[in-house]
A and B are shown apart, each in its own frame.
With several copies, the nearest count.
Chain A
C-alpha cells in the first residue's frame, strides 16, 4: 500500500473507533469526556518536542519552545482538570459523609 493510503486507512478506522468508543456516554459524563479528549490532543507536545529538538534555526527554536509550553499546558492541565472533575463523581459512592441521607432518601 502506498503511504497516503496507509494513513488514510488508519485515519478512517480511527474515526470509527473514536465514534463507537464514546457512543454510550451518559450526559453526565459528557463534560469530563470532553475534557479528557481535550487532554489527549495535548499529545501534540510530542510533535513539538521532536520539531524543536531537531531545528537549528534560532527563530524556529523560540517558536518551538512556545509550542512546547502551550502543548504542555494543554496536556498536563487537561488530565489534571479531568481527574479533579471525576474525583468528585466517584468519591461519594459509599462513604457518603451524609449520616442523614439513608433514612429519607433511600
Chain B
C-alpha cells in the first residue's frame, strides 16, 4: 500500500501540472506556469527515493544526471529558429522512454499472469498501447527532426508501396496488441515496438516539411497518452493525470494549429498518401516582375510616413532579425511610423515571428497581430515583406481550390507600395504563385534577406 503522504504529494503535483498548463496559456503567467510545472516534476520524481527501497541507486542517479546534462545542454544551445526540431527531439526521447518503461513493465507482469486474476486484461492492453504509441512517437519525432534540421529532404517522401506497407504494419500492430493481451511475452512486446517504429516512420515521411510542426504537436499528444497509459499500468496518478492533460491539450492544440493554416489534421497526415503532394510545386515562375536595388528601396522607405514590415519564414532562414530591427530603428528615428505585422502562421511554427523578433530585442509594442493591423494597410505607404510569401498571398481570398484558400492573410495588397525581399521567384511553403509579386505597385529586392537588409540599412543611413 502506497503511503498516504505519497498519494497526496502525487495529487498535488498533478494539480500543479494543471496550473502549469493554465499558466502557459496566458502571456503574463506563462513563465511562472512553466516553473510550477518544473517544480512539480522535480518533486514527483524525488518522491520514490523517499518511500521505496530502490536498488541500483547510484546508477539511477548517474542516469538522471546524464539525462539532465543532455537536456540542459541541448536546451541552452539551440537557436530560436531550431526550436521546433528541439521540441521534436525531446518529445521523441520521452516517447521512447515510455515505450521502454512499458516493455519493462510487461516483463514484470508476465510471471503474474500465471496467477489467476492478478493481472486484468486492461492492464496488458494499456501496456501494449504504451509500447506501440511510444515507439511511433519516437520514430516519428526523429524523422521530423531530420526533416527540419535538413538532414534529409523536407519535401514529402512517398514511394509506391507506402500505403500498403502502412496498412500492413497497422494490421500487424493490432494483431501483436491482441497477442500481448491474450498470451503476453517479452518478444511480442519487442516486435510490437519495432512495428511501432516502422509506423512512426511511414506516418511522417509523406508529410511536407512545413507541415511538420503540426505533426510534432500531434506526436506530443501521442506521447502524453502513452504516459497516461503508463500511469494506469504503474498505478500512479500523477502519470495518469499529467499524461492525459498533455494528450488532451496536445490534440486540441494540434487542431488549433491546423485551423490557423486552414488545413485539417487528416489532410496534413494523409494528403500525400492519397496521391498528390500536400504541397504545390516548388518551381520558380518566369513571368516578368519589377525589381530594384537597395538604393531605390531605401528612398521609398526613407520618405514614407507609414511603413509596415511583414516578416516571414525567410527572415528566420536568413537569421536577419537583428539587421531588420536596426533598419526599423533607423526609420523610426527618421520619424517614420513603423510596425511589424505578425501573421499567426508566418514562419514554421505558431509564434515563430514573435520568438524570432523578441530574440532581436524588438520592443513588444511594435509587434501587431493580424486582426489589429489589417485595417491599416490601406493607409500605409510601403509594406516591406521580408521573407514572407503565403501570408500575403491574395490567392487565399481570390482563388478557390488554392491550398491556402480561406486562410486569413495580411492585406499587404491594399498598401501604396509593396517591397518583397526574397532570393528568387520560387513560391513559398504552399507552392503556389503569388499574384502580388506581379502587381505594378510591387518592387522586388532579390537576395538573401540578411545581405539585402544590410545594404538597405547602409543606404537608408546614407540618405
In-complex A–B contact (CB below 8 Å): yes
A residues contacting B by CB (< 8 A) are 1-5, 7-19, 21-57, 60-61, 63-93, 96-98, 100-101, 103-106
Distance from B234 Cβ to chain A, minimum over Cβ atoms (Å): 5
State in angstroms the CA–CA spacing of A41 and B228 once bound together.
9
Contact with A along B20-54 (1 / 0, CB 8 A): 11101111001101110110010011011100101
Which of A32, A34, A40 has the most C-beta atoms of chain B within 10 angstroms of its own C-beta? A40
Contacts A5-B8, A52-B60 supplied; 8 other A-B pairs, CB < 8 Å: A18-B252, A23-B25, A25-B26, A30-B253, A57-B107, A65-B63, A74-B71, A80-B71
- Whether B240 lies near A10 (C-beta < 8 A) is yes
Tell me whether B98 is interfacial, beta carbon within 8 Å.
yes
State in angstroms the CA–CA spacing of A24 and B172 once bound together.
40
Query: Contact partner of A31 among B331, B332, B349, CB < 8 A?
Result: B349
- Whether A1 lies near B237 (C-beta < 8 A) is yes
Distance from B299 Cβ to chain A, minimum over Cβ atoms (Å): 19
- Whether B41 lies near A29 (C-beta < 8 A) is no
Tell me whether B458 is interfacial, beta carbon within 8 Å.
no
Q: Interface residues of B: mostly helix, strand, loop or mixed?
A: helix
State in angstroms the CA–CA spacing of A28 and B41 once bound together.
25
Contact with A along B223-266 (1 / 0, CB 8 A): 11011101110111111111111111110110011001000000
**Which of chain B's residues 176-209 have a Cβ closer than 8 Å to chain A?**
none
Q: Interface residues of A: mostly helix, strand, loop or mixed?
A: helix
Chain A residue nearest to B222 (CB atoms) is: A41
**What residues of A have a CB within 8 angstroms of the CB of B57 in the complex?**
53
**Which of chain B's residues 53-72 have a Cβ closer than 8 Å to chain A?**
54-57, 59-60, 63-64, 66-68, 70-72
**Which of chain B's residues 255-294 have a Cβ closer than 8 Å to chain A?**
256-257, 260
- Whether A25 lies near B256 (C-beta < 8 A) is yes
Known contacts A10-B241, A18-B252, A90-B31; A46/B26 CB under 8 A: no
Which of B1, B94, B216, B338 has the most C-beta atoms of chain A within 10 angstroms of its own C-beta? B94
The number of residue pairs between A and B whose CB atoms lie closer than 8 Å in the complex comes to 433
Which of A19, A47, A92 has the most C-beta atoms of chain B within 10 angstroms of its own C-beta? A47
- Whether B20 lies near A40 (C-beta < 8 A) is yes
Closest 9 CB pairs of A and B: A72-B67, A77-B71, A18-B248, A53-B54, A74-B94, A30-B350, A76-B71, A104-B332, A14-B244
State in angstroms the CA–CA spacing of A19 and B253 once bound together.
9
**Which of chain B's residues 133-175 have a Cβ closer than 8 Å to chain A?**
none
Known contacts A43-B45, A51-B234; A25/B1 CB under 8 A: no
- Whether A104 lies near B34 (C-beta < 8 A) is no
Tell me whether B425 is interfacial, beta carbon within 8 Å.
no
Known contacts A4-B122, A33-B24, A54-B52; A63/B103 CB under 8 A: yes
Distance from A69 Cβ to chain B, minimum over Cβ atoms (Å): 4
- Whether B86 lies near A81 (C-beta < 8 A) is yes
Known contacts A49-B54, A70-B93, A105-B339; A44/B230 CB under 8 A: yes
- Whether A89 lies near B354 (C-beta < 8 A) is yes
Tell me whether B75 is interfacial, beta carbon within 8 Å.
yes
Query: Contact partner of B93 among A24, A33, A74, CB < 8 A?
Result: A74
State in angstroms the CA–CA spacing of A8 and B244 once bound together.
11
Known contacts A47-B230, A71-B94; A27/B83 CB under 8 A: no
Distance from A68 Cβ to chain B, minimum over Cβ atoms (Å): 4
- Whether A38 lies near B94 (C-beta < 8 A) is yes
Chain B residue nearest to A30 (CB atoms) is: B350
